[in-house]
Amino acid sequence: MSNNSHGLRVGFGIPLILTLNACSGGDSQGIGPEAGTSTAGTGGAVASSAGAGGSGGSSGRGGASTADGTAGAGGTAATGGLVSAGSTGGFLSTGGVASSARTTSTGESSAAGDTTNSGGTPGGSSSASTVGGTTIAGGSQATGGTQATGGTTSAGGAIGGSTGTNSACPGADATESALIQAWLHNTAAVGALPNYAYNNIKTNFPAGAAFDKLACSIAMSCVEFAPMEADWLRKCEAVIASAIVAESSYNPNSVVTDAYATRAVSGTTANDPTVGLLQVRFSSTMHDYNYHGPMVKMAAIGCAWPPELQTQADAATFWAATGGTTYLTFMQDVACNIGSAAWYYFYNATGNGGGSAVWISDYCGGKGIAGNMVVGLLSHLQGGSYARPADANNPYPWGIECCSCGNPSGCACTGCTGRFAAFMGISTASSRPSPDPFLETLAPEPTKYCR
């Protein structure tokens, strides 16, 4: 995620605005990362002119609804993020040419998610430092049927053999495409998503081309970016389908303008909100993918990346000031939004697991350090320089995996029966599944995530 501050739309679009502070972590090359909606830290202030990272945004957003469908308590605020080391002086742009020293944008954050997430966080990006966090109000739960905690619309477990392709998504395995569609349709008596998410899917992605694009974007993002370890194609699908609830409650038009989005950059006022289903920010996730990500994979997912961006000079004012106007529709495009965010989650999950941040330029240079899914989620939430060691009980990963009401220390649900667990059929009475997919070691794969 990235830092964003959004006025949230709760459930069915009921305005809910929280003014939670959050900061995003910094990047060391490229512009800033994306952060999720977490709070707690004072907004990341820009560090010294050396490009040091600002304070990272801290708290994650908890899952939204409780087991009975009533509004969950919301994620509790974590402590503020650590100050990232940042890179001294100017950061290297893609061609290895040093651009002028500058601070990097903050990460993106979450939009109207299913719980009261505290401020946003920066995602790991490649810029020198990331500042400012985002505030995002978690989406509140809408009324409606009850949400089952256990169960899932499909059996989890290992992926079976290919059964061919789906004409609406020819690049993905037909079994996986059908499974994702079942998850999003809630065809079984019990669904893993909260009722307001299903209602938003029906409203924003009616049957036909719109729904097919949503399901295919999830499927193809995982075809292209799921880690190589066993069963991670399906685990990736479950992570993405679950995280969209936390970030936007399936509202593709969600735009959150936090303090960082309107920061001053070289005498210009930025226009850099977090946007869409997984709340990406132009100056962080989109910037980093533009200079480091494999465009052939984005095309395979269905995203038409603007050709002029691929020859765009890496200028801080451009990336800070044009995203919210010229490129808003691009960032809201379902394939581009899900594809770029999935890339960001998983490149961090597979390479940002060390004692200090590994930015995308270093990752692509073979310096990635194995991580896990908690690392990937916290990098999106708090920025690449998230507080280490990675906290598996942070409300953001905890809410996605085990308990949609958020922080395990203050929430009514017991066991591990959240969205991801339900999708994967691994609900347990204990606090976490064993072995825990979110704590599984994921090795670096620069050939998958870099051009």
Q: Tens-of-pLDDT digits for all 451 residues of the chain?
A: 444 333 222 222 322 222 222 222 222 233 333 433 333 333 333 333 333 333 333 333 333 333 333 333 333 333 333 323 333 233 223 333 333 333 333 445 444 455 433 333 333 343 333 333 333 333 333 333 333 333 333 333 333 334 466 788 999 999 999 999 999 998 665 578 988 999 999 999 998 999 999 999 999 999 999 999 999 999 999 999 999 999 999 999 999 999 989 999 999 999 999 999 999 999 999 999 999 999 999 999 999 999 999 999 999 999 999 999 999 999 999 999 999 999 999 999 999 999 999 999 999 999 999 999 999 999 999 889 999 999 998 999 999 999 877 666 656 677 898 899 999 999 888 888 999 999 999 999 999 999 9
C-alpha dist (Å) from residue 155 to 161, 185, 274, 422, 425: 15, 15, 34, 9, 5
Between CA 425 and CA 432, with CA 430 as vertex, the angle to 5 degrees is 65
CA 218 to mean position of chain CA atoms: 13
Distance CA 390, CA 408 (A): 16
Residues in contact with 115: Cβ distance below 8 Å, sequence separation at least 6, in sequence order: 61, 62, 63, 64, 65, 72, 73, 74, 75, 138, 139, 246, 395, 399, 404, 405, 406
Say if strands 14-16 and 268-269 run parallel, antiparallel, or are unpaired. Answer: unpaired
CA 190 to chain centre: 26
Number of neighbours of residue 262 by Cβ within 10 angstroms:
17
Tokens of 27: 């990047």
Enter the pTM of the model. 0.72
Per the structure, the complete domain to which residue 358 belongs is given by 1-451
CB burial readout 80-104, b (16+ within 10 A) else e: bbbbbbbbeebbbbbeeeebebbbb
Name the E strands within 122-162. none
**Residue 326 burial by CB count (10 A; 0-12/13-18/19+): exposed, middle or buried?**
middle
What is the number of domains present in the chain? 1
pLDDT of residue 415: 85
From CA 299, how far away is CA 282, in angstroms rounded? 18
* Pairing, β 169-173 against β 255-256: unpaired
Rounded to 5 degrees, φ, ψ at 373 are: -65, -30
Tokens of 206: 């009616």
- Contact by Cβ (8 Å): 407, 62: yes
pLDDT score at 337: 98
Return the residue matching tokens 């870099």. Answer: 450
Contact between 64 and 72 (Cβ < 8 Å)? yes
Distance of CA 225 to the CA centre of its chain: 14
pLDDT at residue 388, rounded to an integer = 97
Q: What length is written for the chain?
A: 451
The predicted pLDDT at position 186 comes to 80
Q: What pLDDT does 417 receive?
A: 87
Q: How far is Cα 378 from Cα 228, in angstroms, rounded to an integer?
A: 20
Q: Which helix (H) or strand (E) holds 275?
A: strand 274-275
Residue of 310, 271, 270 lying closest to 289 (CA atoms): 310
CA dihedral sign, ordered 231, 237, 242, 243: positive
Q: What is the pLDDT of residue 188?
A: 62
pLDDT given for residue 2 in this prediction:
40
